Amino acid sequence: MRWVLHVDLDQFLAAVEILRRPELRGRPVVVGGDGDPTKRGVVSTASYEAREYGVHSGIPLRLAARRCPEAVFLPVDRETYEAVSAEVMTVLREFGVVEVLGWDEAFVELTNDDAPESTARRIQHRVRARTQLDCSVGIGQNRLHAKLATGYGKPAGVFRLTYQTWFDVLGDQPTDAVWGIGRKTATKLAALGITTVRELAAADPGELAATFGPRTGPWLVQIGQGRAGSRVSGEPHQARSHGREVTFQEDITDWEEVREQVARLAGRVAEDVADTGRPVVRIVVKVRYAPFFTYTHGVTMPEPGTSAGAIEQAASAALEKFTDRRPVRLLGVRAELARPSSLR
């Protein structure tokens, strides 16, 4: 029997900071930006105590401070998180093939294991012994099952999701409860009368192909049924994109300056991708207007490549798709890379 485990470190960044500052245990802790909630920035991670006040990843630091004035705000310490993450991944490789998804999560593939819950608990024990961190483990018959199961096991628990239990657990959930379906896709599905996972699983792939395309439409039905064919890959993680963004402490009202900032970001992105050996196929520009409305536009590169000039030109073309000239508080440029041939 082949099982896939999804290991997710609980409140990772906050947990690492609490280990360094034991006096913060039990207090609301928020990690984000440079740790100054009077500046613009977003929450990277909030401790469970902070989440009780409605503080969660992605919201502005200033909003987090209003919701939880007594929270302790700390800056992001990338190097420390990377070092702790590397220790965790070393532990996981003792149990099977590991596919790293980020600092705080990975898939582990088990073979010839008829007691995956027992293995999951041994993983939790080993991770805690090595790092003093807790993790939740989802168990499934594929990556999709395991990823979704983790959410039902949090915090520090274990949960199994299989083909047999898929609809019992998820059948009546909204479609965006499934990993891979976002809010926009769920809205389009709702317009077709599909609002639950069970309804998505029963949908006609051909009809969805007419709305979402010949590949995406049938794929949506497939994941609605809990089916996913990709195997866990032990190859080194390769980013699918490289991006840069900047939050301005004062809104930019001059769009000539906006163009200059986008060109500058595009140049930095070009430097980032130059050493990857993988051509850029698409450029996406993100604009966050004041107070906090975010939109994106992208363009496909005429020819895949890593030329700084071509990347800047594509970023400029994507920016011109924004017709609203309201004040801007954040800009971002992301380069989507050609997928390595080893990826499915």
Alpha carbon distance 55, 182 (integer Å): 21
Q: Which CATH class is domain 13-74?
A: alpha beta
- Mean pLDDT for all residues in the chain: 94
Q: What is the pLDDT of residues 101-126, one digit of tens each?
A: 999 999 999 988 889 999 999 999 99
State yes or no: pLDDT of 27 exceeds 50: yes
Residue type, 300: T
**Domain boundaries in the chain?**
2-10+78-161, 13-74, 170-224, 241-337
State yes or no: pLDDT of 135 exceeds 70: yes
Q: What is the pLDDT of residues 174-232, one digit of tens each?
A: 999 999 999 999 999 999 999 999 999 999 999 999 999 999 999 999 999 999 877 88
| Per-residue pLDDT, 340 | 62
Confidence of residue 342 (pLDDT cuts 50, 70, 90): very low
Supply the angle between the helices 183-191 and 205-212 in degrees, to the nearest 10. 120
| Per-residue pLDDT, 176 | 96
CA distances from 341 to 215, 266, 318 (A): 19, 26, 28
- Looking at domain 241-337, its CATH architecture is 2-Layer Sandwich (3.30)
CA distances from 79 to 12, 84, 86, 103 (A): 14, 9, 11, 11
* 57 Cβ contact list (under 8 Å, min separation 6): 42, 43, 44, 45, 46
pTM: predicted TM-score of the whole model, two decimal places? 0.81
Query: What single DSSP character describes residue 112?
Result: S
Confidence of residue 69 (pLDDT cuts 50, 70, 90): very high
C-alpha torsion angle, residues 98, 101, 104, 110 (rounded to 10): -30
- The CATH topology of domain 2-10+78-161 is Alpha-Beta Plaits (3.30.70)
| Cβ 93 vs Cβ 109: under 8 Å | no
Which residue in the list 105, 109, 312, 336 is annotated as catalytic? 105
- Asked if 207 is an active-site residue, the reply is no
**Lowest mean pLDDT segment, chosen from 158-162, 164-168, 252-256, 274-278:** 274-278
State yes or no: pLDDT of 87 exceeds 50: yes
Query: What single DSSP character describes residue 237?
Result: P
Confidence of residue 344 (pLDDT cuts 50, 70, 90): very low
- The CATH topology of domain 170-224 is DNA polymerase; domain 1 (1.10.150)
